[in-house]
Amino acid sequence: MTIHREGYRSIAIGTIIFVLINTVSVNFLSTPFPLLGWLLLFVTLFILLFLISFFRIPNRALTIIDGQVIAPADGKVVVIEEVIDEEYFKEKRLQVSVFMSPANVHVNRNPISGEVVYNQYHKGKYLVAWHPKSSTENERHSIVIKNGSTEILVKQIAGALAKRIVNYLQVGQQVKQTEEMGFIKFGSRVDMLLPIGSKINVQLNQVVQGGVTVIATL
């Protein structure tokens, strides 16, 4: 397991705060209130370890298969339905959404290989990520990857806790399946808009692994 570069600053700040709080605790609380001092130590240590775990990148055997759509994120499948896409395709698409809790790995990965033909950031609200309108009203970053005649739109969507979406791709860039697409800090969801007729290989509420689980066959 390694730590994602997006976490370096947050972990450094968290470590400084941890040291400051417990230094004050040792000097002023440990003698008159020893139980409070120990409680503060355990609580702040738990928070620091959770922060570190949030930015983890586990070692995995990634799935690379042409013609398959690989999960762009860890989490739970919360939507499988046909929708009308008003942003890019202007027609009916098959939407599959993966909800990421704060405990999930938050690296986002390319579901297919191809060329980035669309990249757009949208300001918006911070509705809870499982809200039906979060896909169109929340802050989000949309990209479209084209492979041959197939195009897939992927949305990184902010949630009630997610306040920063990072996307590494640019229009015209050639990307490879399962390589890093971006990162979302502190819980959110990722939508994929697939061609109608795609064979879905997952079910609602199924837990998936980013870069590993096959979401659909094109």
Query: Which are the catalytic amino acids?
Result: 188
Q: Which residue has the higher pLDDT, 212 or 123?
A: 212
pLDDT reported for residue 194: 98
Nearest to 98 by CA among 79, 84, 121, 70: 79
pLDDT reported for residue 133: 58
Q: Is the pLDDT of residue 82 over 70?
A: yes
Q: Which residue has the higher pLDDT, 160 or 17?
A: 17
Percentage above 70 pLDDT, the chain: 91
Q: Which structure tokens are listed for 106?
A: 């938050």
Q: At how many degrees (to 10) do helices 34-54 and 8-28 cross?
A: 180
pLDDT reported for residue 188: 83
Nearest to 96 by CA among 123, 69, 125, 119: 69
96 contacts 200 by C-beta, under 8 angstroms? yes
Handedness of CA 68, 69, 74, 75 (dihedral sign): negative
Residue 11 zone, left/alpha/beta (φ > 0; ψ -120 to 50; rest): alpha
Q: Is the pLDDT of residue 129 over 60?
A: no
Separation of alpha carbons 133 and 194, rounded Å: 19
Q: Which residue has the higher pLDDT, 74 or 102?
A: 74
Tell me the pLDDT band of 95, cut-offs 50, 70 and 90.
Answer: very high
Mean pLDDT, rounded, for 34-43: 91
pLDDT reported for residue 132: 57
Across 13-22, 29-38, 135-144, 178-187, the highest mean pLDDT is recorded for 13-22
Tell me the pLDDT band of 49, cut-offs 50, 70 and 90.
Answer: very high
pLDDT reported for residue 21: 94
Q: How far is CA 202 from its chain centroid?
A: 18
Tell me the pLDDT band of 136, cut-offs 50, 70 and 90.
Answer: low
Tell me the pLDDT band of 37, cut-offs 50, 70 and 90.
Answer: confident
Cα angle for residues 89, 133, 92 (degrees, 5° grid): 25
Q: What are phi and psi of 129, to 5 degrees?
A: -60, -25
Q: Which residue has the higher pLDDT, 54 or 151?
A: 151
**Residues paired with 189 in a beta bridge:** 99, 157
Q: Which residues contact 197 (CB under 8 A, 6 or more apart)?
A: 94
